[in-house]
Copies of this chain bind each other. A is one copy, B any other.
Amino acid sequence: MVKLGIIGAGRIGKVHAESITFNIKNAEVLSIADPFMSDEAAAWARSLGIKNVSKDYHDILNNPEIDGVLICSSTNTHADIAIEAIKAKKNVFCEKPISQDLAKIKEVMEALKGTDLKFQVGFNRRFDHNFEAVREAVKAGKIGDVHVVKITSRDPDAPSLDYVKVSGGIFLDMTIHDFDMVRYLSGSDVEEIYASGACLVNPAIAECGDIDTAVITMKLKNGALAVIDNSRKAAYGYDQRAEVFGSKGQVAVTNDAPSTAVISTESGVTGEKPLYFFLERYMASFSKEVSMFCDACEGKGEVPVDINDGLQPVLIAKAAKKSLDEGRPVKLSEIVF
């Protein structure tokens, strides 16, 4: 049994705690810590059989029983906690992004160097059944050489302006998953990026210095092209699709819906809207990514999303922002790391 501690008992920390308890057979959550741990949260944790509930994550890092920690705290604390965890000889599963600050990511990489600890980044969408099927088809050569990767990623509603202000911008907050997806599906790094954007959903987002609609083009190291289109708000819900086109054909995935029901009436032939948001659409992926982390902790294979996979989307997001600001394509090599 892999013994885990969870740092951060917010939404995603809770998702991991429950999915480990109920779905992962070779792991258990020994401890959970959150500076704002409420009595309710503590009761919830105990109901899952978690023995140690604390307000101080050092209780986890200092516990010699713990094999690995899941860092689910707020983004700006990820890197520092990760470094502490590494020093405490813990395997680390870190929610994305490792940091919005490249220097911080570098520090984590430095800390990791020379250890044989596992370090995985929480790009959960790689473990979605649909995107996995695309990746499998590409890897199996079913579509030949990759020519064009296309990703549509739209949220069901824009976040609050308070959130927008601290989000780091759409590229670091939202598109970062899609940047990872381009790398995952194509099996290639990014060479150059051109971002165009607009504020069409809510003008107040522009006042926060951000955009809510984007089309981003990339040239990949393997010669292929990629394009992502984002919107902060699709009236019909969470739109998460991908296509990879190649020399022998195309593989495409579309949204999951609550059911396959189609109602035909005088008004048309109507199916269900996509599953509402990421908790509905990607729930199974959260179990799968942590399960693979646990396997790696037990020495079965490598982590499927390593620290470089955590770094690259941040580099791409930085290049995208630079491209948007300067109105020109930006090479990834221009981003100093």
Q: How many residues of A contact B (CB 8 A)?
A: 70
Are A258 and B129 in contact (CB-based, < 8 A)?
yes
Q: How far is the CA of A152 from the CA of B261 in the complex (A)?
A: 15
Q: Which residue of B lies closest to A241 (CB)?
A: B260
Q: A244-269 interface mask toward B, CB cutoff 8 Å, 1 = contact, 0 = none?
A: 01011111111111111111111111
Q: Which residue of B lies closest to A226 (CB)?
A: B215
**Contact stretch, chosen from A99-107, A139-147, A298-306:** A139-147
Q: How far is the CA of A285 from the CA of B132 in the complex (A)?
A: 25
Are A219 and B247 in contact (CB-based, < 8 A)?
no
Are A130 and B264 in contact (CB-based, < 8 A)?
no
A7 within 8 A of B: no
A148 within 8 A of B: yes
Are A261 and B224 in contact (CB-based, < 8 A)?
no
Q: A164-199 interface mask toward B, CB cutoff 8 Å, 1 = contact, 0 = none?
A: 000000000000000000000000000000101110
Within 66-107 of A, Cβ neighbours of B (below 8 Å) are at none
What's the minimum C-beta distance from A96 to chain B, rounded to whole angstroms?
Answer: 23
Q: Which residue of B lies closest to A132 (CB)?
A: B259
Within 35-88 of A, Cβ neighbours of B (below 8 Å) are at none
Q: Which residues of B contact A273 (CB under 8 A)?
A: 264, 266, 268-269
Q: How far is the CA of A227 from the CA of B133 in the complex (A)?
A: 25
A333 within 8 A of B: no
A159 within 8 A of B: no
Q: How far is the CA of A133 from the CA of B263 in the complex (A)?
A: 10
Q: How far is the CA of A329 from the CA of B215 in the complex (A)?
A: 13
A10 within 8 A of B: no
A225 touching B248 in the complex, CB below 8 Å, given contacts A23-B22, A256-B260, A264-B273:
no
A270 within 8 A of B: yes
Q: How far is the CA of A255 from the CA of B272 in the complex (A)?
A: 15
> What would 16 A/B residue contacts be, using CB atoms closer than 8 Å?
A130-B261, A142-B263, A142-B265, A143-B265, A147-B213, A148-B229, A194-B217, A194-B329, A196-B329, A198-B219, A215-B225, A227-B227, A235-B247, A236-B269, A253-B259, A268-B273
Q: How far is the CA of A337 from the CA of B305 in the complex (A)?
A: 52
Q: How far is the CA of A134 from the CA of B225 in the complex (A)?
A: 27
Cβ-defined partner of A259 (8 Å) among B129, B225, B262: B129
What's the minimum C-beta distance from A321 to chain B, rounded to whole angstroms?
Answer: 16
What's the minimum C-beta distance from A271 to chain B, rounded to whole angstroms?
Answer: 5
Q: Which residue of B lies closest to A245 (CB)?
A: B231
Q: How far is the CA of A247 from the CA of B234 in the complex (A)?
A: 7
Of the candidates A261, A267, A270, the one having the most CB atoms from chain B within 10 angstroms of its own CB is A261
What's the minimum C-beta distance from A135 to chain B, rounded to whole angstroms?
Answer: 10
What's the minimum C-beta distance from A128 to chain B, rounded to whole angstroms?
Answer: 9
A262 touching B252 in the complex, CB below 8 Å, given contacts A150-B229, A225-B213:
yes
A200 touching B250 in the complex, CB below 8 Å, given contacts A129-B259, A227-B229, A329-B328:
no
What's the minimum C-beta distance from A325 to chain B, rounded to whole angstroms?
Answer: 13
